[in-house]
């Protein structure tokens, strides 16, 4: 049975079991609740997420050192970085523009009478100066221990660049890193094999503790976000894949199923990164030089799905409080949300912090976030799947434009790490 089928079965079984437990209305202090939901299932889900996160730092470091050591010169890196950043910013800005447009037509906040007893304590966003300074590591070991993705990327790029210029020593080190890369990729495939059990536990825990009642008065908001997410996924990405990448969107999405399902279950682009990177390199055929840079960067700064939630939420909150925003304020929302997606790299629960920044920027009450928090967990799952497919899309398009997309592998539906020669191809040779 294919891995996708097994993951889907795990998700469905988790959903059914969780919903049954929820319907039984288990006593929150009871033994069954403590032993099954908060015990076995919660532990299983957390171990799955931990096992994915465990791979992130070694994977990014090793694959990016290999990638950078194959980039011929600084100009190649500059071009790669420029194209990737431009596409990430462009897709985020179009995602939020689309969300604003649809929300202004649908009017999800008009006439809503949402009651909430949730409190929301906005976490302070880092200053712009700090954001810039935080990208540059002072200590690579600390960067890795803290999992500071942008710092790890900078260190790996510099190191890989030096490897390429260090003569015989560089050749030896490069070969060692390429071997490590193959081993870590193998480790990723081993852990992905456990994904069906992991997603089963995550789904069961979530649906055992969460009801559908919250959607009630927020249905218009909820379904507007879902609609725009689908629109972005099925119109904007395919368009970019066809126009800029000249590849089949159908094949792309068929191959991206697994990272999208894992993203949906874990609600974390960061934890999904190992699955995304393996898919992009081994299944979509993006060369390591491009994939190892674009995917970790994307998992950190590219959040189209999150931007969509913010666009709809801004309009919803403005309408709820009966505040009219001007055109220049909407433009400000687009700008702030796009920059905030870069500025909040590595901050957990990033979506709501970014939303706080956007609301403050245009003078809307930050407490408005309390209104939508009830349905945020479900939306987080869906927008994370969109975030991750956006990373894969940009990697594919940039790979194609840099002539670093192996088309034969892209169209080979059986392509996987298993039918590869010993090593993941690290150069176009």
Binding residue for ligand ASP, selected from 184, 303, 337, 393, defined by CB under 6 A = 303
Handedness of CA 399, 403, 404, 406 (dihedral sign): positive
Binding residue for ligand ASP, selected from 283, 383, 400, 404, defined by CB under 6 A = 383
Scan for tokens 């689309």, then name that residue: 98
Question: Binding to ligand ASP by residue 351, rule CB under 6 A?
Answer: yes
Binding residue for ligand ASP, selected from 300, 344, 387, 396, defined by CB under 6 A = 387
CB 201, CB 44: distance < 8 Å: yes
Query: What distances in angstroms separate CA 176 from CA 22, 183, 319, 375, 427, one per listed residue?
Result: 51, 11, 58, 47, 16
Question: Binding to ligand ASP by residue 268, rule CB under 6 A?
Answer: yes
By C-beta, is 258 or 289 nearer to ligand ASP? 258
Query: What distances in angstroms separate CA 267 from CA 177, 207, 220, 237, 259, one per listed residue?
Result: 31, 14, 22, 20, 11
355: phi then psi, degrees, rounded to nearest 5: -65, -40
Closest CA to 359 of 389, 332, 382: 332
DSSP, res 119: -
Question: Binding to ligand ASP by residue 91, rule CB under 6 A?
Answer: no
Binding residue for ligand ASP, selected from 269, 276, 300, 389, defined by CB under 6 A = 269
Question: Binding to ligand ASP by residue 59, rule CB under 6 A?
Answer: no
Question: Binding to ligand ASP by residue 306, rule CB under 6 A?
Answer: yes
Smallest gap from residue 353 Cβ to ligand ASP (A): 8
Question: Binding to ligand ASP by residue 292, rule CB under 6 A?
Answer: no
Of the CA atoms within 13 Å of residue 310, those in its CB half-sphere come to 37
Question: Binding to ligand ASP by residue 265, rule CB under 6 A?
Answer: no
Question: Binding to ligand ASP by residue 232, rule CB under 6 A?
Answer: no
Question: Binding to ligand ASP by residue 350, rule CB under 6 A?
Answer: yes
Stretch that binds ligand ASP, among 24-32, 241-249, 265-273, 318-326 (CB under 6 A): 265-273
Cβ neighbours of residue 334 under 8 Å, at least 6 residues apart? Answer: 93, 96, 97, 100
Smallest gap from residue 381 Cβ to ligand ASP (A): 8
Binding site for ligand ASP (CB under 6 A): 267-270, 303, 306, 349-351, 380, 383-384, 387
């Amino acid at each position: 049975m294919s891995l996708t089928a097994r993951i889907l079965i795990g998700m469905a079984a988790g959903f059914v079991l969780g919903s049954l437990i929820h319907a039984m209305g288990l006593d929150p202090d009871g033994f069954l609740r403590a032993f099954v939901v908060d015990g076995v299932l919660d532990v299983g889900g957390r171990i799955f997420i931990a096992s994915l996160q465990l791979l992130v730092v070694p994977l990014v470091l090793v694959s990016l050192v290999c990638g950078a050591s194959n980039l011929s010169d600084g100009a190649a890196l500059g071009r790669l970085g420029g194209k990737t950043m431009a596409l990430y910013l462009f897709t985020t800005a179009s995602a939020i523009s689309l969300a604003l447009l649809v929300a202004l037509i649908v009017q999800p906040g008009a006439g809503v009478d949402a009651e909430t007893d949730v409190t929301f304590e906005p976490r302070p966003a880092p200053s712009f100066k700090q954001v810039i300074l935080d990208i540059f590591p002072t200590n690579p070991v600390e960067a890795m221990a803290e999992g500071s993705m942008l710092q790890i990327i900078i260190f790996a790029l510099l190191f890989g660049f030096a490897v390429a210029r260090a003569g015989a020593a560089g050749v030896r080190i490069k070969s060692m890193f390429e071997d490590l890369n193959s081993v870590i990729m193998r480790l990723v495939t081993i852990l992905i094999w456990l994904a069906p059990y992991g997603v089963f536990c995550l789904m069961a825990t979530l649906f055992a503790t969460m009801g559908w009642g919250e959607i009630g008065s927020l249905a218009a908001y909820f379904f507007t976000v879902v609609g725009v997410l689908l629109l972005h996924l099925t119109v904007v990405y395919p368009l970019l894949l066809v126009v800029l990448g000249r590849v089949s969107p159908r094949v792309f999405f068929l191959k991206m199923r697994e990272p999208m399902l894992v993203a949906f279950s874990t609600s974390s682009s960061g934890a999904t990164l190992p699955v995304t990177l393996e898919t992009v390199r081994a299944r979509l055929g993006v060369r390591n030089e491009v994939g190892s840079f674009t995917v970790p960067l994307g998992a950190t700064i590219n959040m189209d799905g999150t931007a969509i939630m913010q666009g709809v939420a801004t309009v919803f909150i403005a309408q709820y409080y009966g505040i009219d925003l001007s055109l220049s304020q909407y433009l400000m929302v687009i700008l702030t949300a796009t920059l905030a997606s870069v500025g909040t790299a590595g901050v957990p629960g990033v979506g709501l912090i970014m939303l706080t920044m956007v609301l403050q920027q245009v003078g809307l009450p930050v407490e408005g976030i309390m209104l939508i928090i009830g349905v945020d967990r479900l939306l987080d799952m869906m927008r994370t799947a969109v975030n991750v497919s956006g990373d894969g899309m940009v990697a594919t398009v940039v790979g194609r434009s840099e002539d670093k997309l192996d088309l034969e592998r892209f169209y080979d539906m059986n392509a996987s790490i298993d039918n590869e020669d010993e090593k993941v191809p690290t150069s176009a040779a």
